[in-house]
Amino acid sequence: MRYTSFNPPVRTLMGSGPSDVHPRVLTAMARPTIGHLDPAFIAMMEEIKGLLQYAFQTSNALTIPLSAPGSAGMECCFVNLVEPGEEVIVCVNGVFGERMKDSIERSGGVPIVIADPMGSPVDPNKLEETLRKHRDARLVAFVHAETSTGVLSDAKQLAEIAHHHDCLTIVDTVTSLGGSPLKVDEWGLDAVFSGSQKCLSCTPGLAPITLNDRALDKIKQRKIRVQSWFLDLNLLMGYWGSGKRAYHHTAPINTLYALHEALAMLQEEGLEHSWARHQHMHRALRSGIEAMGLAFLVKESVRLPQLNAIMVPQGVDDAVLRSRLLNDYNLEIGAGLGSLAGKIVRIGLMGYGANMKNVMYCLEALEAVLADMRAPIQKGVAMNAAQNVAVLN
């Protein structure tokens, strides 16, 4: 078979990620490729570190993007910080908490699981109680923004409890970075990982991480070396650290151009403005969704504005709904995961995609398809409800 150039369809990405990539970021990727040890590239690497420090709100020297997706950021934190036989408290309230548990086991650790229902935040009281029972534990892992449900846990409070019991924290901020308040230094978060493809409006494939001195001290005191060569932070900092750079791997040069552009745009907008914009777009979407008669999985007080889990109406096949939105409207929304498969759809409002045009388009398409599927919804009210919120704000 003879193949020609691949030309992807033009979609509106409103699922759980990737999100729509800003044209400026796409343009940045098309700039000339230079060497990964070129002085100009190394200068840009330093700028990326500074821009990531701003995004994470940290002064941590070890603040870098890994040349791999967010899942590698998770694995990097665990393989560096967890030693064989070590007890690790892991808070599981969704699919990505389960992945943390799996990563602990693969690192040779012993996970002590604190379980909360999907759609609920991590319970601080359960963490306190568990730490009292497991006094040898020195690590607490939790998801700040659980992508599988759209629930936001109180990272500051959980970190305070962990530190009271002399534990370090490993925190998943893949969906919160850039979209919800995240203050690494102020909240005392020790090892934090994220992804490039959500609220940063960058392409997938990079995992921003940041670790403080407490976390680095634990890594330096390991009794055995890190089991992963590629994710060993001792080696990675030889490439990403200050001063003379040592070859580690060939960095994804053009993808890092994209991240630099995305982070520069976040700085131009301002973090607080970005957080407020995501919240405002959520309020508009929420008004339209509720006017239609649909319900959210997560209660408003702990709901992620950028990841909206909507209950599938009775009698509606979610796979058919998503397929029709994709095929008829070029609109992608996400499916439910785990025990929520078939019960919810996930609508993302992330980064560049968190705008009123997308909100209105999503509501229009969703109403049209659900009405055609004879779902029990209110017709002709959703877009007005959303627009009213936009006007009021």
Backbone angles phi, psi at 62, to 5 degrees: -85, 80
The two three-digit tokens of residue 65, written as one number: 């993007």
pLDDT at 245 (0 to 100): 83
- The Cα 42–Cα 128 span in angstroms is 44
> For the segment 79-94, what is each residue's pLDDT rounded down to a tens digit?
999 999 999 999 999 9
CA gap 356, 370 in Å, rounded: 21
Q: HSE of 221 in the Cβ direction (CA atoms, 13 Å)?
A: 7
CA distance 10 to 79: 38
Average pLDDT over residues 195-222: 97
The token pair at 100 is 């943390």
Q: What percent of the chain has pLDDT over 90?
A: 96
Alpha-helical (H) ranges within 134-191 are 155-164, 184-187
pLDDT for 98 beyond 70: yes
- Interatomic CA distance for residues 312 and 39, integer angstroms: 53
Residue 77 pLDDT grade (very low, low, confident, very high; cuts 50, 70, 90): very high
Query: Cα separation of 156 and 234, whole Å?
Result: 28
Average pLDDT over residues 97-117: 97
Q: Is 225 helix (H, G, I), strand (E, B) or coil?
A: coil
346-391 tens-digit pLDDT: 999 999 999 999 999 999 999 999 999 999 999 999 999 999 886 6
pLDDT digits (tens, 9 = 90+) for 337-348: 999 999 999 999
Predicted confidence (pLDDT) per residue in 125-179, tens digit: 999 999 999 999 999 999 999 999 999 999 999 999 999 999 999 999 999 999 9
Tell me the domains of the chain and their CATH numbers.
Answer: 23-268 (3.40.640.10), 271-392 (3.90.1150.10)
Mean pLDDT over the full length of the chain: 96
Alpha helical stretches, state H, the chain? 23-29, 39-56, 70-81, 95-106, 124-133, 155-164, 184-187, 213-220, 233-240, 253-269, 271-292, 318-329, 356-372, 382-392
How is residue 87 written in tokens? 């007890």
Could you give the CA distance from residue 45 to residue 368 in angstroms, rounded to a whole number? 47
**What pLDDT is stored for residue 68 in this prediction?**
96
DSSP for residue 336 = P
What's the CA gap between 245 and 253, in Å, rounded?
16
- From the list 18, 12, 94, the residue with the least C-alpha distance to 344 is 94
Q: How confident is the model at residue 392 (pLDDT cuts 50, 70, 90)?
A: low
Please tell me the distance from the alpha carbon of residue 37 to that of residue 28, in angstroms, as a whole number: 19
Q: Is the peptide bond before 18 cis (omega within 30 degrees of 0)?
A: yes
User: Would you place residue 225 in the very low, low, confident or very high pLDDT band (cuts 50, 70, 90)?
Assistant: very high
Predicted pLDDT of residue 253:
97
Q: What do you get for the CA distance between the two ends of the chain, in Å?
A: 55
The predicted pLDDT at position 393 comes to 58
| Mean local confidence (pLDDT), 224-253 | 91
